[in-house]
Structure 1
Amino acid sequence: MVSPAEQPSGVPPLGGSDAANTAGIGSLLDAFGAMAEDMDLDTVLERVTTAACQLVDARFGALGVVGPDRKLSQFVVVGLDDDAARRIGSLPEGHGVLGLLITDPRPLRLHDLREHPRSVGFPAHHPRMTSFLGVPIRIHGKVFGNLYLTEKNGGEDFSATDEQLLVALAAAAGVAIENSRLFDDATRRTRWLEGGLNAARELLEQDDAARNDFGVLTRHALYASHSNVAVVLRDFGHDRGVICEAAEGEHADAFVGRSGAEASLLEDLSAASEPLLLTAADAARLLPGAPPGVIDTLMCTMLSGTEDRQFLLIGRSAAAPPFSAVDHEMMQSFTSHVSLALELLGAHRRREQQAVFGDRDRIARDLHDLVIQRLFAAGLSIQGLRKFLTDSEPLNRITAVTSELDSTIRELRDTIYSLRSVPQITPTFTSSIFALVAEVFDGHELEPVVQLSGPLDAVVEQALAAHVRAILIEGLSNALRHADASSVTVALQATRDRLELTITDDGRGFEQAPSTGGLANMRHRAELSGGVLNISSTPGQGTVVVLTVPLGL
C-alpha cells in the first residue's frame, strides 16, 4: 500500500480496504490510459467523462467547460442516448448545483441533489437523478471546467474514496486537456500557415489565365480558418459602401455581388491593424444577402497590395467554435502572406504591361523613323518620273500611286499616335466595372447585385471594354429611370471564346423595344464590338439585356 508521503502529486491517499484501494488504483490507471489515447480535444473531453463514470461506477456523467462569462460554454454528456438528449432540449448553462461548482470550485458530494438549497429542479423528460459527485478540473491553477457524476449504480451514495479517485482523475484530466489544447493550437497554426503559403504559391503561378485571384484567396482562407464562409469586400470610398467581389463556403452565391452600405464599420481598419471581430448584427449590415444563422461572428482584416481598399472576412455560425487567440494571430500571418503575393503579382503584371508599352513605343519609332521615311522617299522618286513621261495614262498612274502612298503615310501616322497614346498605368477592367456600377447607383436606395466571373482583365481589350461600359451605363440608367425596378442584377462572364454581359431587372417591362434612343445606341455599340445584343421584356415582369461578344482566344 502506498503511504501518503509516497503519493503522486495530485493523488490524495485512499481510504478503505487494501483490496478496494487496489481496485480503485487499477481503475484510475485504466482511466489515465484511456485519456491519453487521442489528442483531439472533443474526444479527450468525452473520454475523460466516460472514464469518470467507469471509475466511480456512475450511471450518468458530464463535463462542463466554463466559458469567459462564467457560464458553461460546452457540456459533454455520457449515459444519455441521442433521443433522450433531444427530448430534454437545451443543455445546462450553469445554474443551480452545477453553478455552485463554478462559483465555489471545491469537490461536492450529495445524497440527493434535489434537496440542496441551490437546486433548481429538472426540465421535462429529464431522467431521475439523486446521488451526486462533482469536482473541478484545473489547468495551471485556473478552473477549466467541472466533472459531474450522478446516480451511482446500486443505489448507494458516492463515497469518500470515489471523491478521492475523481479528484485524482481530474488532476490527470487537466494535464490531458492542456496537452490536447496545445496540440489543437499547433494544428490550427499549421493549417493557417499551409493555407497562406498555398494561397501565395497559387497566386504567383502564371499558368492559368482564367484564374480569379480573389476566388483563390477566399478558397484558401476558408480552408485555413475552418470557418463557414470567407468573402472579399471592396470599398469604393466616398460613402458608396462596399461590394462583395468573391465568396467561398456556405451560401456563397448569396454574397457575391451584394452591396453593403455600412462601410463605416471598416473605415478605421488598416493593413497594420489587428483583425477586427464583428457581431452578427455587423455582418447583416456588411453582407445584407446573408441567410439567417449562417454568420454569428466575423473576423476581418484589410488586404494590402491591391488598388482599392479591400478586406478579407471569415465568418462562423453560432454552432461553430468561437474565434480563438490563435485565429486572431494567424489570420494576420495569412493576410501578410497573401498581401505580399498580391503585391508581387501586381508588380509582375505592371512589368509585363510596361514591356508591352515599350514594344509599342519601339514599333512606333521604327514606323516613324524608317517606314514612313522610306515611303516618303519612294513617293518622291515616283514623282520624279513625271519629267520623263508625256502620255496621260502613265502620269495618271503615278498620281494614283502617290495618292495611295500619302494615304498609307497618314494611316501609319494615326497608328503611331494610337500606339503612343496608351496610358502607362490603367485600372483593371473589373475595377472600372465596379466603380461604374457604384457611380450609377450613387444616391439611389436600390442596391444592385454584381456578379463577375472568368478572366475578364486578361481577355477584354481596351476598345471592347469601352463598348461594354457604354452598354452597361445605358442599361443601368434605363432600369433606374424607366423600369421602376426593385432589383437589378449585372452578370459579366468571360470564357475562352466569348464575353457575355447580362442586365436583369424586375421592373415594369415593355411590349416592343423602341428603334431609337438608348436601346438603339446599345445595339450600335454591340455591332461596333462585333457582338450581338438581345433584349427581351414582358410587361410587368421586367427586362433582360444580353450582350454576347466572341473573343476568339
Structure 2
Amino acid sequence: MSSDPESGALAPPSVAGHHGQTPYGQWRSNAQLESLVTRAQHESLDAVLRRIIAFACRMTNARYGAIGVVDDKNSLIQFVQVGVDAETEREIGSPPSGIGILGMLNRHAAALRLHDCKDSPEFTGFPPHHPVMTTLMSVPILVDNVHFGNLYLTNKEGGADFTQADEELVVGFSRDIGITVENALVSEDSHRRARWLIACADLAQDLIKPSTEGGGDSLHTVAERAMRESGADLVAIGLPTPESGMVYCAAASGDGAGAILLRKIAIQPELIETFSDNRQAILLGSLNDVFLTPEPRNALRRALYGTTLVAPLQSAAENRGMLVLARKAENGTFNSTDVEMVEVYATYVAFALELAGIHRKRQREAVLGDRERIALNLHDLIIQRIFAMGISVQSLRRFTMEAPALELISSVTHELDATIHELRDTVYQLESLSAGSESVNGRLLSAIQQATDPLDMASSIRLTGLVDRCIKENLVVHVLAVLSEGLSNVARHSGATSVEVSVKVARGRIIVVIADDGHGFDNVVRHSGLDNLRQRARSCHGRFTVTSSPGRGTRLVWSAPTALTAP
C-alpha cells in the first residue's frame, strides 16, 4: 500500500453550504473527484487505481489503501497499494497471493469492517518487513455489474475503527469508481491493441527482409517484441522438426531463455492435438503444460513460471510452429485482450514466415538454375577437354621408352582420371540438387542451413561422394538428427566464431564431421546431446568420437556403414 498517497493531494471538501446532502454527496461535488473521472480516459489503469486508492484514503483518514483485482474465478491477479514506501515494498517481496483474509473478501463480494484484522480466523499473518495493520475496511468494486476487485483501507487515523459513515462513504464512492475503472480499462485496452497492431506491421516487414538487409535476426526480434507488448517474462518460438512431437526453439527471450534456446524440446501431445483441430491461442496454467523435456522443465521451474499462453504459427498453407509466452507467478495472468492479440500477432508472424519462405524458394530456384548451367558446362566442356588431354598424354608413350618418362606419363594420366571422377561426382551433386528439394543432398543442406542460420558465426559446408545413391531413408533420418543435435551443441556450448560441416560417403560409410573454433575443453563431459549422438551411432552399427582441447575448438565425427539397415 507510496508514502504520501499520490502527488497533487486531494483536499477534503468544505462542509459549509452542503446541508441536506449525504456525506458522499459532499465529496462527489468535489472538483478533484471530477478530475479523477476525466483523467481516467488518458492514464494507465495502474495510475488510475492509485489515484482512486489515494482519494479513498483521504475520505476515510486511512493510512494505507490497496485495490486487489480479481479474475472470473475471484483469484487475485493484480495488487496496487498506496501508503507503503518503495523500499519497504521491495523488502516485502511478492504481492499477496489472495489467501487468508484477502481470499475470503474476494470470494464474498460484500462490504466488511474489522476492529483488528488479526482477530479474523482467516488471518494467516504478515510477511517479514510488512507494516503492522489493525483496523480494516473492504468494499467490492463492480465494473458493468461484474466483480472487478476490492478496495481495502487499513489503519484509520488515531487508531479508531472505521465507522458506518465511512462505509457508506466508500460504498457510494465505489459505485462511481466502477465507471472510472471501466473508462480506464477501455482506454488501456485500446492502446494495447494499437501497440500490438503496430508490432504486427513492423515485424511483417522485418521477417521478409533478405538477411543482407538486416532480417537475419528477425525471429529474435519477434520474441522480444512479443515480450514487450504482452508483459510476459519469457517468450519462445518453436519451429517444426522432422521428429514428431518435437519443436526446435529458434528464438527465446527472458529469464531462463538459455535453457531452451537452439535446442529440440518435446511438447505435450495434448497440445499438438489441440492445435491440429483449433488454430486459436490457448491459456495454460504452467510451462510444464507445454514442455516435456526434463532439463528445460527443471530450469524453468526454478524461475517460478506460472500462466502460459501458447499460439500456433499457422498460415493457410501449413503449421509453422508455435509462439509461447509465460509470466512468473507473481506477475499475474494474461487477460482476454492478451489472448486475442497474441492470436493476431501469431497469424501475422506465420504469414510473414510463409512470405519469407517463398522469397528463399525463389532465391534457391535461381541458385539451382545456376548450378544446372554449371553442371552442363562441366560435363560438356571441361570434362571432355580433360579427357582429350588424357588421351594426348597417353599417346606420348610411343615417343619414349625411358622409365622415368613413362612413370611420369602414368602419374599424370592417373591424376587426370581422378580429376574427371571428382568432376563427374560434382556434376551429379549439382544435378541432384537442381532436381528438387526432396533429394538427400537437398535435405541435408536444408537441415544444416536451418541449424546454422540463427548462429552468429561463419559456417562452411561440404558434401562429398554419392550421398543420394548410397544411403537409404532410414539412415537419412539419423544423419539429419546428428547434424541438428551437433550444431545445436556448437551453438549452446562452444562460444565459436566459425563452424565447418562435412558429410562424406566413401568406402561404404557415411561420415559426418562438425568442427568449431570455440573454447574447447579438457575432458569430454557427458550430457544428453552427446549421449544421443552415441546412441544413434550404436543403433546404426557406427562410431562416434569427440576430440577437443582448451582454446582449440571441438571436433565431432559420426559415421555409420551405408550398407547396413538402420533401425
What is the Cα deviation at residue 350 of structure 1? Answer: 1.5
Match of 1:52 in 2: 56
Q: Contact between 1:135 and 1:146, CA under 8 Å: does it hold in 2? A: yes
Contact 2:44/2:188 (8 A) holds in 1: yes
**Residue 431 of structure 1 aligns with which residue?**
447
302, 325, 329: which one pairs with 1:292? 302
Alignment of 1:348-359 (within 5 A): 348-359=359-370
Alpha carbons of 1:192 and 1:377: their partners in 2 closer, same or farther (altered >3 Å)?
A: same
Please name the residue that 1:123 is paired with: 125
> 2:554: which partner in 1?
545
Q: How many residues align?
A: 467
Which of 221, 225, 244 lines up with 1:220 in the alignment?
225
The equivalent of 1:340 in structure 2 is 351
Alpha-carbon deviations, 1:380-406, whole Å to 9, x = none?
9x99xx9xxxx969xx9xxx9xx89x9
Which entry has the higher C-alpha Rg, 1 or 2?
1
Unaligned runs of 5+ in 2: 1-15, 468-474, 501-514, 531-542, 558-567
Aligned to 1:264: 269
Q: Output the TM-score relative to the length of structure 2.
A: 0.64
Q: 1:420 to 1:100 in 2, by over 3 A?
A: closer
Shift of 1:146: 2.5
1:41 to 29, 32, 45: 45
Give the secondary-structure state (helix, strand or coil) at the position aligned to 1:195: helix
Selected match of 1:506 from 525, 528, 531:
525
Partner of 1:453: 455
Residue deviations 1:359-393 (CA, integer Å, cap 9, x gap): 2323444565677889999999x99xx9xxxx969
Q: Percent identity?
A: 27
Aligned to 1:230: 235
Q: C-alpha displacement at 1:282, in angstroms?
A: 2.3
**Pairing partner for 2:282 from 276, 279, 285:** 276
Shift of 1:498: 5.7
Q: Which segment is superposed worse, 251-260 or 303-312?
A: 303-312
TM-score (normalised: structure 1): 0.66
Distance 1:414 1:98 in 2: 74
Equivalent residues of 1:455, 1:494 under 8 A apart: no
Q: Is the 8 A contact 1:114 1:121 kept in 2?
A: no
Q: In structure 2, how many angstroms separate the alpha carbons of the residues matched to 1:120 and 1:58?
A: 22
Please tell me the residue identity of whatever aligns with 1:303. L
After TM superposition, list the pairs within 5 Å mapping 1:6-155 onto structure 2.
17=19, 24-25=26-27, 28-34=30-36, 36-37=38-39, 39-81=43-85, 91=96, 93=98, 95=100, 99=104, 102-105=107-110, 107=111, 110=113, 113-114=115-116, 120=122, 123=125, 127=132, 129-130=134-135, 133-153=137-157
CA distance 1:246–1:146, shift in 2 (3 Å)? closer
Aligned-residue offset at 1:262: 4.3
Q: Distance in 1 between the 2:157 and 2:364 partners?
A: 79
Q: How many Å apart are 1:143 and its aligned residue?
A: 2.2
SS at match of 2:58: helix
Equivalent residues of 1:53, 1:60 under 8 A apart = yes
Three-state SS of the structure 1 residue aligned to 2:134 is coil
Q: Does residue 332 of structure 2 align to residue 321 of structure 1?
A: yes
Q: Which amino acid aligns with 2:490?
A: A
Compute the displacement of 1:317 (Å): 0.8
- Structure 1 gap ranges (5+): 1-13, 436-449, 481-486, 510-520, 524-532, 538-542, 549-553
Q: Evaluate the alpha carbon distance shift between residue 120 and residue 82 of structure 1 in structure 2; reply closer, same or farther with a 3 A threshold.
A: farther
Cα distance, 1:52 vs. partner?
A: 0.6
Distance apart, 1:244 and its partner CA: 3.0
Q: How far apart are residue 223 of structure 1 and its match?
A: 2.9
Q: What is the distance in 2 between the residues matched to 1:233 and 1:72?
A: 31
CA deviations on 1:393-442 (whole Å, 9 max, x unpaired) are 9xx9xxx9xx89x979888766544432324212364635999xxxxxxx
Q: CA deviation at 1:308?
A: 8.0
**Matched residue SS, 1:227:** coil
Alignment equivalent of 2:170, drawn from 166, 170, 189: 166
Q: How far 1:326 moved relative to its partner?
A: 1.3
- Conserved? CA contact 2:268–2:291, under 8 Å: no
* C-alpha distance in structure 1 between counterparts of 2:340 and 2:75, whole Å: 26
Counterpart residue type for residue 273 of structure 2:
D
Q: Secondary structure at the match of 2:330?
A: coil
Letter in structure 2 aligned against 1:545: T
1:303 and 2:313 are equivalent in the alignment: yes
| Whole-angstrom distance in 1 between the partners of 2:44 and 2:26 | 27
- Spell out, residue by residue over 1:298-344, the C-alpha distance to the aligned partner (whole angstroms, 9 max, x if none): 22223346998632212211122311111211112111111111111
- Classify the secondary structure of the residue corresponding to 2:199: helix
Please list the CA deviations of residues 56-79 of structure 1 after superposition, one character each: whole Å capped at 9, or x if unmatched. Answer: 333333323233222444343333
